[in-house]
Structure 1
């Protein structure tokens, strides 16, 4: 069981470390929310979505779904549209040099909607989950398989909490709001970059 736990922990950590849309969004919420606890909806939603994807990958359900060509195309298309909208929303967030002009924090409902979308409408994250975590889980039988699965889910939760905390620390010491402005701008550019790559893949597969 210890081997399965360590395997899942290190594997999930390696997958989640690269700077992606999901990570950028959680960090952004930690930085822009007035209190760290206000970023909890985004953190919990991202964790639950990752948990769902990991469970589906381990059970083999997601692999079957993505073999349906039209469904895969629909997933890419929906993800592309939403990422473009999300980047625009973050880019246009008002940011100034005074405390009152700081970027307007997302409401809990908007956090949940955005976190769920960047998690569930991100084909690259889904393919990583299926191709790496799902495939790696095949070498284990119960109960080791579920220890491996729980370890992967635990990494997601710890990582998202850490991102929100780091974002909060930067936001807390940014009295002018300038850092938050650039965080928003960088977040939007990264999100648009991922959207552009998804659009290119969508055209290439057409």
Structure 2
């Protein structure tokens, strides 16, 4: 069982560290909020979504659902439309010097909605979970070992997301507040649009 925990821990670290849509979003939320706790809703939502995907992968449910063509297309199209829309609204966010420090940041509802979308509709996250974590879990034949492997994978997500938020929050304090917000908004919007394009490519590739 210890080997399975170590396997899950190291595997998840390798998968989660590259800065993609999900990681970039959490970094930006940590940077945009004046208080560290301001971005916690986004972090908890992303971690819960990762835990759900990992759980489904370990028990083998997500792999079956992913191969239902019409279901895959519905989720894919919703994800593309949502990413394009959120990218547009984020690009248009223009914090100014006259705004209060609490304006220009994302509300709890917006954080939760977007964190869920980039976690559950993120092609990188889905492929990593289904192909890599799900496939790795299949080598274990007993449920206690499978659960230990999955728990280690999920623990990495929780730890890493809080680390990302903290890094974003700390580094933002060294930059000009309004300028940093504007740059972060632009980069976030570009990442959203790039993810929408890539999600479309993934859908087309699975035909």
Residue-pair matches, total: 206
1:3-152 superposed matches below 5 A: 3-96=3-96, 100=100, 104-140=104-140, 141-152=142-153
Separation of aligned partners in 2, 1:124 and 1:70: 20
Q: 1:42 Cα shift?
A: 0.3
Deviations 1:154-173 (A, max 9, x none): 00001100110011012222
* Aligned-CA RMSD value: 1.9
* Unmatched 5+ stretches in structure 2: none
Separation of aligned partners in 1, 2:3 and 2:204: 42
* Unmatched 5+ stretches in structure 1: none
Separation of aligned partners in 2, 1:20 and 1:103: 26
Deviations 1:107-143 (A, max 9, x none): 1111111111111122331121011001101122232
Q: Is the 8 A contact 2:122 2:195 kept in 1?
A: no
Separation of aligned partners in 1, 2:136 and 2:204: 31
Name 1:162's counterpart in structure 2: 163
1:164-179 superposed matches below 5 A: 164-179=165-180
Separation of aligned partners in 1, 2:91 and 2:23: 17
Q: 1:103 Cα shift?
A: 6.4
Q: Is the 8 A contact 1:50 1:156 kept in 2?
A: yes
Stretch moving more, 48-57 or 117-126? 117-126
Q: Secondary structure at the match of 1:177?
A: helix
Aligned CA distance change for structure 1 residues 201 and 2 (closer, same or farther; 3 Å): closer
Q: Which runs of 4+ in 1 moved over 3 A?
A: 96-103, 200-206
